[in-house]
Structure 1
Amino acid sequence: MLHVKGFKARTNAAGEVFNSLILEGIVFVKSKETGFYYATLKQASLPTTLSEDECKRMVGQSMAGKVKRVDCDPYEVINEKTGETMTLSHRYLYFPESTEQTQFPEMVNEFSESEEELIH
């Protein structure tokens, strides 16, 4: 289950403005040092045709699905707190409960170019 944390207005390559819901979900990660799992919150952005008012009504709602880590082409992100530049080769994307990751391989590269602020 995911939580709609908020939304952001975005601009596509054609210059058109659209809204994306910011979804937050628990992801279980295996520690490289200890081998034990821990829970952490990760966010994914879901493009939508909803208006700003409709997006506002969605904030705080729960929805079915998962946030999953997906490999992608390397890209750079600047840590807003430290100013450090990091190179990442993964994204966290939304997947409906009944959909497997392998059905969306073309989405990964599209998000690589347009969703750079997913990871802070």
Structure 2
Amino acid sequence: MVKIVDYKTYQKEDGKEFYALVVQGGIEAVTSQETNRTYLTIKEAKVACTFNEDMCKAAIGTELEGRIERVETEPYQYTNQDTGEVITLNYRNEFISAQEDILRNNVINSEVVA
């Protein structure tokens, strides 16, 4: 289960605006690779939508069936908004709907079947 917690405004190359909803998963315990200590975190992802700004505002607080999954990507630069530090990442967080999760885990790819 994820919850819509915010929305962001973006601009297309043609100048038109569109919106993305910010969704958060539940609290997760993870182990630091540097200190080997456990800490708590929440994964967050942005999901493009066809909503206008009023609809985005109204959607905040809504819960959706699904989860947030880390997906590997080509390396890219990311600037931490709080510290200004620039780091290189090779992943992004992606919202996986409950329906998509069922398909991923239960449908056999035709290439696999002999």
TM-score of the two chains, using structure 2 as the length reference: 0.76
- The alpha-carbon deviation at position 41 of structure 1 amounts to 0.5
Q: Distance in 1 between matches of 2:86 and 2:22?
A: 23
Question: In the alignment, residue 5 of structure 1 is paired with which amino acid?
Answer: V
* Alignment pair present for 1:66 and 2:67: yes
| Fraction of identical pairs, as percent | 28
Bigger fraction of residues in strand: 2
SS at match of 1:80: coil
Tell me the TM-score normalised to structure 1 length: 0.73
Letter of the structure 2 residue corresponding to residue 2 of structure 1: V
Say which SS state the counterpart of residue 98 (structure 1) adopts: helix
| CA gap 1:68/1:25 in 2 versus in 1, 3 angstroms | same
Q: How many angstroms does 1:80 deviate by?
A: 1.6
CA RMSD in angstroms comes to: 2.2
Give the conservation status (yes or no) of the 8 Å contact 2:30–2:41: no
Instruction: Write the distance in 2 (CA, Å) between the matches of 1:98 and 1:29.
Output: 26
Describe the shift of the 1:72–1:42 C-alpha distance in structure 2 as closer, same or farther (beyond 3 A).
Answer: same
Gaps of 5+ in 2: 105-114
CA drift of 1:15 comes to 2.9
Rg (Cα) greater in structure: 2
* SS of 1:99 mapped into structure 2: helix
